[in-house]
Amino acid sequence: MAGGGSAIRGSRVGAGPMGEAERGDTAPRQRVVFFCANGHETATVFAVEAAVPEAWDCPRCGLPTSTDVNNPPPPTKIEPYKTHLAYVKERRSATEAAEILEEALEKLRARRARGEVIF
């Protein structure tokens, strides 16, 4: 017969979780509340000796948060995907692009004049 069993096998009724006497004392803690631009509050607990971060991500909407209720950080700007051509246009002017194109075309014309196969 297969055992269906209990998930708490080996414990007795009334036995509570391990107490501090068996694990040691917990570190002193502080509760820090963060606020996002959508008005959400996020309470997080840190050890007293731990450094509290300046910003935290809101678990409800994902926006950045801060501890200043009157001045939460603005939403981060999400830039759209840029193509390779967009990055090239940022680095080169239109005259530089025309010069590079003309140079490449001259090379192709020279190869064709010599009878090379171009793919």
The domain that holds 48 is classified in CATH as: 2.20.28.270
Number of structural domains found in the chain: 2
Instruction: Sort 68 into a burial class: Cβ within 10 Å, 0-12 / 13-18 / 19+.
Output: exposed
**pTM across the whole model:** 0.50
Give tens-digit pLDDT for 55-72: 899 999 999 999 998 999
Q: Is residue 75 part of a domain?
A: no
Is 58 marked as a binding-site residue?
Answer: yes
Is 84 marked as a binding-site residue?
Answer: no
Rounded Cα distance between 102 and 108, Å, is 10
Q: Is residue 110 part of a domain?
A: yes
**Lookup: tokens for 72:** 């939460």
Is 40 marked as a binding-site residue?
Answer: yes
Helical residues (DSSP H) of 1-119, grouped into ranges: 20-23, 84-91, 94-113
Residue numbers of the domain that contains 53: 29-66
Q: pLDDT band for position 116 (50/70/90)?
A: confident
Is 37 marked as a binding-site residue?
Answer: no
